[in-house]
């Protein structure tokens, strides 16, 4: 086992439905520790960088529109095998395929309106954390 830090972005649907607290509580109950948290309005530049792997797809403009409709909450969570553990708690990207008891199964609607984004690898987490948190905004406990 290894200690990892993952980025979790609470998407506009989670913020609008006031799910940040209840979902964050699930992550913390599972043993993940908060290292950083902030609310922010995303602009096109950061969305193009964050979703660079999707810019060529026809649904990319819909992602940008959705992610800009309300602020998001960026969270850095740390714990043993955090990358896989957080993604397991979330369930599959498509909320319609997510089991009850998972975050997306309980609160999500579809592939885009699915409560949270979470890093999918240690390498992605390192890049994403630097993208959303400046030096000095992450804390160790």
Which region holds residue 91: left if phi is over 0, alpha if psi is between -120 and 50, else beta?
Answer: left
How buried is 92 (Cβ within 10 angstroms: 0-12 exposed, 13-18 middle, 19+ buried)? middle
* Confidence (pLDDT) at 84: 98
What residues are labeled active site?
Answer: 117
pTM above 0.75, yes or no: yes
Q: Which pLDDT tens digit goes with each residue over 84-117?
A: 999 999 999 999 999 999 999 999 999 999 999 9
Residue written as token pair 């799910």: 19
Q: Which pLDDT tens digit goes with each residue over 6-56?
A: 999 999 999 999 999 999 999 999 999 999 999 999 999 999 999 999 999
Architecture of domain 3-132: 2-Layer Sandwich (3.30)
């Amino acid at each position: 086992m290894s200690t990892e830090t993952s980025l979790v972005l609470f998407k506009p649907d989670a913020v609008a439905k006031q799910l940040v607290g209840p979902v964050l509580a699930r992550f913390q109950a599972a043993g993940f520790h908060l290292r950083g948290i902030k609310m922010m309005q995303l602009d096109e530049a950061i969305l193009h960088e964050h979703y660079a792997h999707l810019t060529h797809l026809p649904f990319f403009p819909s992602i940008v529109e959705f992610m800009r409709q309300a602020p998001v909450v960026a969270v850095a969570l740390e714990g043993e095998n955090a990358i896989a553990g957080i993604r397991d708690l979330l369930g599959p990207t498509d909320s319609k395929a997510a089991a009850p008891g998972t975050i997306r199964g309980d609160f999500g609607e579809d592939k885009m309106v699915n409560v949270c984004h979470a890093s999918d690898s240690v390498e992605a987490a390192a890049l994403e954390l630097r993208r959303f948190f400046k030096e000095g905004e992450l804390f160790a406990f």
